[in-house]
């Protein structure tokens, strides 16, 4: 298997996406492990990770690096976070999750990956985790009707000047009665007050009725 580096510490063989496994010999969610020489890689499933889906759809802006500090809202059990953990190295991921069962699995993941900081809190109440430092990236996958407000509020509080935000917009969580594209247009209009929209993708076939936005906060 021949892998090419498409982003820092993100690899592809032309179709599948991989990260170097931070914990050699251990998978996180049943993903395939492959070796090339002395390096072990974890296959990144775009049907389980919206960020990987965006990469497969042609993502250009990938702001993550070994030293990045990331605020991740809606961490769930940590599928995407585990791959970011592979990429970040000495960076840190502040992973916010409100559901206790999901948070418990996230904490188990963090036991083996020191750059993950699990936080059991409500992303709509950033004062609950106000002790975290300013971050380079805010990544949000929170299925709530006020997704745009949650992102803006957290970015104003934690995102560094010129920082990047990524938002997974789930239209069905906002208004099931509207056409998804109409919902996406309204969210984009709302966010354009505070952000420059760098990229946008519909995530089909990986996620139905989802849009992925890459944003830069305005000065």
pLDDT classification of 182: cutoffs 50, 70, 90: confident
pTM of the model as a whole: 0.94
Q: What is the mean pLDDT of residues 193-204?
A: 94
Checking if the pLDDT of 41 tops 80, the result is yes
Checking if the pLDDT of 152 tops 90, the result is yes
Checking if the pLDDT of 1 tops 80, the result is no
Q: Of the given ranges (2-6, 115-119, 152-156, 164-168), which has the lowest mean pLDDT?
A: 2-6
Checking if the pLDDT of 89 tops 80, the result is yes
- Within 8 A by CB and 6+ apart from 107, the residues are 118
Q: Which domains does the chain have, with CATH numbers?
A: 45-217 (3.40.50.150)
pLDDT classification of 178: cutoffs 50, 70, 90: confident
Give the pLDDT score at 197.
Answer: 96
Exposure of 189 in the CB half-sphere (CA atoms within 13 A): 6
Indicate the average pLDDT of the chain: 93
Tokens of 54: 């965006």
Query: What is the H or E stretch that residue 136 is in?
Result: strand 135-140
Checking if the pLDDT of 171 tops 90, the result is no
- Longest Cα–Cα distance of the chain, Å, equals 52
Q: What is the mean pLDDT of residues 16-44?
A: 95
Sign, CA dihedral 203-207-211-214, equals negative
Checking if the pLDDT of 135 tops 90, the result is yes
Checking if the pLDDT of 175 tops 80, the result is no
C-alpha distances out from residue 197 to 164, 217, 219, Å: 10, 9, 14
């Amino acid at each position: 298997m021949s892998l090419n580096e498409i982003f820092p510490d993100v690899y592809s063989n032309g179709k599948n996406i991989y990260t170097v496994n931070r914990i050699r010999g251990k998978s996180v969610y049943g993903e395939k492990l492959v070796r090339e020489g002395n390096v072990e890689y974890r296959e990144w499933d775009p049907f389980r990770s919206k960020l990987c889906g965006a990469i497969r759809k042609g993502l250009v802006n990938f702001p993550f690096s070994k030293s990045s500090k990331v605020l991740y809202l809606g961490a769930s059990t940590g599928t995407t976070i585990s791959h970011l953990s592979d990429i970040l190295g000495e960076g840190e991921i502040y992973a916010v999750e409100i559901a206790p069962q999901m948070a418990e699995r996230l904490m188990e993941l963090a036991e083996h990956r020191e750059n993950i900081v699990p936080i059991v809190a409500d992303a709509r109440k950033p004062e609950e985790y106000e002790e975290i430092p300013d971050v380079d990236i805010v990544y949000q996958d929170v299925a709530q009707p006020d997704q745009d407000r949650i992102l803006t509020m957290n970015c104003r509080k934690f995102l560094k000047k010129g920082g990047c935000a990524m938002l997974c917009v789930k239209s069905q969580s906002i208004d099931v009665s509207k056409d998804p594209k109409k919902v996406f247009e309204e969210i984009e209009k709302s966010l354009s007050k505070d952000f420059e929209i760098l990229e946008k993708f519909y995530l089909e076939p990986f996620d139905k009725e989802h849009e992925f936005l890459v944003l830069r906060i305005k000065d």
